[in-house]
Structure 1
Amino acid sequence: MRAHALLREIIRNLTSGTSRLGALFFISTLALTVAVLSDVLTISRTVDDAIEYRGSGAAVMTLALPGRINGASCDALADTPNVLAAGAMRPEGKVTAGTLPGEPLDLYTTTPAFARVLGAEDGGSGVYVSTDVASNLGSTALPLTAGAPTPVRGTYPYPPDGRRAGFGWAVLSPTSASDGAFDECWVLSWPQRSDLRQLLLTSVTPAAAGAAASEQPIVSQLNTKYGLTFAGSTEYESRITRYAPYLAALVGFVLSAMAVWFRRVEIASNLHAGASRGTLYLQHLIESVAWSLPAVAAAWMAGFLTATITAPTELPSLALRSAEIALSFSVGTLTGTAFGFFRVREGRLGHYVKGR
């Protein structure tokens, strides 16, 4: 069969309804879209949980040992893999703002990198304050009673969501990491490290002569509300939708194999009339692509748009995951077409006609 004749035959089958283009496209699009969206939404929920966990301060671990924390060693932990920020601090009592003398602020001296652990951005020079302090006293300068207004270097969020109290109405005053000993070392690790306690202990300096032998460092979590470790990683690995590519491939295989098998009389008749098996196979392969490829594109686009809305930070990985599921359907479709076609035998034409 010549190429133009083959093309004309394919177009005739698609437009006349012989290939069941509309029904197969609708069923495959629906099934594939469900598979794609199920996994995208499941992963998006895990991403939301991770953002909530990290944003709550649950990913921050603290080590407390008054007068025994080396600021430089603590700051250096930020160079460790999976450690996003690290810094040391020591409390310095209270300070008073001239506009709210009845509401003294907690004052902490910190290493330069400490504010990053709390999510503050560096704005130059001055002190860091919580967003509550900034909204009540100003976000550019702090009107302390002792001396001239102090410039505000940056702000950090510290809502009352279960995290340790004492920093929601506070001032952080950065100093050199070598400016004396500190009382605590804080580390923000993401993804979480299992050896974070051991890392924190590297910031501890040896006890001075005559110090209490029973004094031990206390390692704790800034916010214990969401558990010591993020459970989303385990849930992600065990999610049932991780099998979505295999399900999509199976659906594609079954649909395409059935689509060919329903036309077994037509195929066997053409073979009996002398048509080339290779040409007939190419015809049915192209016809299966005609309904499966638009379904793949529609399902992938649905996954992409859903990821854009639900988890924009993970859009590239979710787009690839959607493509993986959709392309698995394509593989299943091509395999099913071959399986269904090569099961048809010219010698069983009479049997096919009787069983139709």
Structure 2
Amino acid sequence: MRLRSILREAWRNASTGTARCVTLALVLIGLVVTATVAEISTVATLEQQAADFRAAGGSVLTISAPGRVDGARCESLRDLPGVHAAGALTVRPDEPVAAVALPGAPMPAADASPGFPAVVGATTDGGPGLILTDDAVATLGLELGDRLSATTGTSRLAGTYAYPRDGRRDGYGYLAVSVTGYRAPFDECWVEAWPMTTELNPLLFTVLRPGGDADDVPQVQQLNSTLGSGLDGAGLFHERVTRFGGLLVGLIAAAVALVTVRARRVELATALHDGMRRRDLWTIVSLESVLWTAPAVAVGMSLSLAWFGRDGDLLVGAILGARVTLSVLAGAVAGVAVALATTREKDLFAYAKDR
């Protein structure tokens, strides 16, 4: 058969309902949407869980050893795989910063290495001055760049950071942080790492300088343990129930395609009996299959990309959508192929008798 004749035959079968393209397209769209929505919802929940864990400071580890933390060594930890920020800190409770507007509520002062603001997610303008918590800034009615009049002098507000009461270590909610250099010894080293790994814990001890009393044991803590001691995001992702959704709908698509094409075995065997070449028959049925698989693929990919595209993570959406749609497409192709391969001209009489 010529290509024009093949295309005309495929279109005739689709437009007249012989190929059941509309019904099959709706079935596959339903399968794809169900599996894609389940996958999207599960992954989005895991992403939100991880975001909440990090936002609460659960991914921040601290090591405390008064006067023994080397600032440069502490900040060098950010070069390790998975470590996003690292900085050293020393709180000076005996030298508080008392704002003139609130002399009765002095804020504990602290010195920090340059990398510390990134650990707590501070917003800075790059200039010198104090970094205060959002609560302190709101209480004092300040904005970035404003001057803070204190009983000990005037300072500039160079940055702010959030430190809510959500289970984090106490004592840092109204801290007035001054960023210094690396040379002076610090009391603590804070490290934010994601994904979390137990391999980081022993490396924290490398920031310590020699010395210290035998009873002065360095303390390694999680900044906020209310959401658990750790979150294995990769493990939760790989163990999610919906990871089998694509395989399941692929098998269903294969069964639907197999049954649908086999239901036309009298028509297909008759075409072979009338002289149609088998390859022409395969081409016609394949073209018909494209008409009812393409809408499902388009809907599944569009749904996944639209959902994850809101946050700019199109790659995640493309991968999740492809896992489902390609599985459905492969199942449909396999079902059609098996049905055609098992349809033979010599069995035409048996097909007609069993119809």
- Whole-angstrom CA distance in 1 between matches of 2:118 and 2:286: 58
Shift of 1:286: 0.7
2:201 maps to 1:197:
yes
TM-score (norm. length: structure 1)? 0.95
Say whether the 8 Å CA contact 2:195–2:233 is kept in structure 1.
no
The residue identity in structure 1 corresponding to 2:128 is S
**Cα deviation code 1:84-109 (max 9, x no counterpart):** 11111111122200111121111111
Query: What is the RMSD of the two structures over their aligned residues, measured on CA atoms?
Result: 1.4
**Cα deviation code 1:16-56 (max 9, x no counterpart):** 11011111010100001111121111111000000000000
Q: Which ranges of structure 2 fall in alignment gaps of 5 or more residues?
A: none
- Whole-angstrom CA distance in 1 between matches of 2:29 and 2:301: 10
Give the secondary structure class of the aligned counterpart of 1:100.
coil
User: 264-273 vs 298-307, which deviates more?
Assistant: 298-307
Q: Which ranges of structure 1 fall in alignment gaps of 5 or more residues?
A: none
Shift of 1:307: 2.4
Shift of 1:142: 2.1
The residue identity in structure 1 corresponding to 2:218 is P
Shift of 1:328: 2.0
Shift of 1:326: 0.7
- Which residue is 2:295 aligned to? 294
Within 5 Å, which residues of 2 pair with 1:1-356?
Answer: 1-93=1-93, 94-123=96-125, 124-137=127-140, 138-139=142-143, 140-148=146-154, 150-178=155-183, 180-207=184-211, 211-309=212-310, 312=311, 314-356=313-355
Shift of 1:183: 0.7
Shift of 1:73: 0.8
- Whole-angstrom CA distance in 2 between matches of 1:98 and 1:220: 35
Give the secondary structure class of the aligned counterpart of 2:105.
strand
The residue identity in structure 2 corresponding to 1:338 is A
Shift of 1:313: 5.0
Give the secondary structure class of the aligned counterpart of 1:271.
helix
The residue identity in structure 1 corresponding to 2:164 is P
The residue identity in structure 1 corresponding to 2:33 is T
The residue identity in structure 2 corresponding to 1:187 is V
Give the secondary structure class of the aligned counterpart of 1:153.
strand
From the superposition, tell whether residues 47 and 184 of structure 1 become closer, same or farther in structure 2 (CA, over 3 Å): same
**Cα deviation code 1:289-324 (max 9, x no counterpart):** 111011110111112222235xx2533222222123
Say whether the 8 Å CA contact 1:76–1:86 is kept in structure 2.
yes
Give the secondary structure class of the aligned counterpart of 1:81.
coil
Give the secondary structure class of the aligned counterpart of 1:286.
helix
- Whole-angstrom CA distance in 2 between matches of 1:278 and 1:233: 46
Shift of 1:143: 2.1
**Cα deviation code 1:128-147 (max 9, x no counterpart):** 11011111221233221211
TM-score (norm. length: structure 2)? 0.95
Say whether the 8 Å CA contact 1:33–1:303 is kept in structure 2.
no
How many equivalent residue pairs?
349
Shift of 1:252: 2.5
Shift of 1:254: 1.5
Give the secondary structure class of the aligned counterpart of 2:196.
coil
User: 238-247 vs 260-269, which deviates more?
Assistant: 238-247
